[in-house]
Structure 1
Amino acid sequence: MKRYSPERKEAVLRKLAPPMSLTVPEVAEAEGISTASLYNWRRQAREQGEILPSRGSAPEQWSSEDKFRVVLETAAMNEAAFSAYCRERGLYPEQVEAWRASCMSANAKTGEHDAQSRQARKQEQKRVKKLERELRRKDKALAETAALLTLSKKAEAIWGRNDEDE
């Protein structure tokens, strides 16, 4: 098993990161490193907080976790640092601002979603109670019909068949 220096790993991982955003198979072929090693390196780098998107080069296809990391990293930056960060990563400031707005509104949507789900749950409970009442009513009607049928058969067995019934 080959050992790679930390500098070599860092250089290879930079090829996976924006703005180059090459895919793992492309980097593996170009560098002569196994894809399994590259996937492991990428996973380890992500665990350390680096932004290494797994889907192609288009930032809009990044995972929500990667987008959130960008928002966190840029939250305290001034405008010049923010612009430099975006240029370095191959991002548009408008994209990051849209991601930030999405993150900010996420909790508000959860509150609305909770209210909607509570209302839907109440409606479902009402529907279930109505169906249970109807089921009990039909069970009683079925039991009554079965009892009448049994009684009519017993009466027929005791007194015989009545000609008027035919």
Structure 2
Amino acid sequence: MKQYPEERKQAVLRRMMPPENTPVRVLSEETGISDVTLYHWRKQARSGGMVVPGDGRNPEGWSPEDKFAVVLETAALNEAEVAEYCRKKGLYAEQILAWKEVCMHANATAVEQARSARDQARSAKKEIKELKRDLRHKEKALAETAALLVLRKKMHAIWGEGEDE
């Protein structure tokens, strides 16, 4: 197995990280380093706590572990530091806030989740009830209109078309 200098390894890992997000296949072709070695380096970096997607996807396609790592890295940062972090990683502050919100709701207690589900079911039932009521009113209006058209047609058939109504 060929040994690579630590500086080269770090440079290749930086290319795997945001904002470049260069896929392993492309790096392997460009650098001449085998893809197995690159995957191993990426795995080591991830186990060390680095956010290294390295698959060419945009940040929304990252794994939950990578998103959680970003949330943890930015938890103690102020707004200016988060902005700097986002520029360096190729992210948006809104993405990090959304991921943080998801993380916070993922740990909600069962009681809170049940309450939320119950509230959603209640509002859905209310909406269904209102829609059914509206549908009944519209069906009645449509039936009345159809009956009037039939009566008008019969009236014209009996008395003729030319007379004023």
TM-score, normalising length from structure 2? 0.66
Distance 1:26 1:42 in 2: 14
Structure 2 equivalent of residue 20 of structure 1 = 20
Q: CA deviation at 1:92?
A: 0.4
Structure 2 equivalent of residue 158 of structure 1 = none
Deviations along 1:65-120, whole A, 9 cap, x unmatched? 0000000000000111110000000000000000001101111265455789xxxx
Structure 2 equivalent of residue 41 of structure 1 = 41
Q: Map 1:52-63 to 2 at 5 A.
A: 52-63=52-63
Dislocated runs of 4+, deviation >2 Å: 54-57, 109-116
User: Is the contact between residue 25 and residue 35 of structure 1 (CA under 8 Å) also seen in structure 2?
Assistant: yes
Distance 2:110 2:59 in 1: 25
Correspondence 1:91 to 2:91: yes
Judged with a 3 Å threshold, the aligned counterparts in structure 2 of structure 1 residues 2 and 82 are, in CA distance, closer, same or farther, namely: same
**RMSD between superposed Cα atoms in Å:** 1.9
Structure 1 equivalent of residue 8 of structure 2 = 8
Q: CA deviation at 1:57?
A: 2.8
Q: CA deviation at 1:2?
A: 1.5
Structure 1: runs of 5+ lacking an equivalent? 117-166
Higher relative contact order (CA 8 A, sep 6+): 2
Structure 1 equivalent of residue 149 of structure 2 = none
TM-score, normalising length from structure 1? 0.65
Distance 2:71 2:52 in 1: 14
Q: How many residues align?
A: 116
Deviations along 1:110-149, whole A, 9 cap, x unmatched? 5455789xxxxxxxxxxxxxxxxxxxxxxxxxxxxxxxxx
Q: Map 1:144-159 to 2 at 5 A.
A: none
Letter in 2 for 1:79: E
Distance 1:111 1:103 in 2: 17
Distance 1:77 1:37 in 2: 34
Distance 2:105 2:56 in 1: 27
**Percent identity between the two aligned chains:** 53
Q: CA deviation at 1:14?
A: 0.6
Q: Which has the larger radius of gyration?
A: 1
Deviations along 1:32-63, whole A, 9 cap, x unmatched? 00000000000001111110115423000000
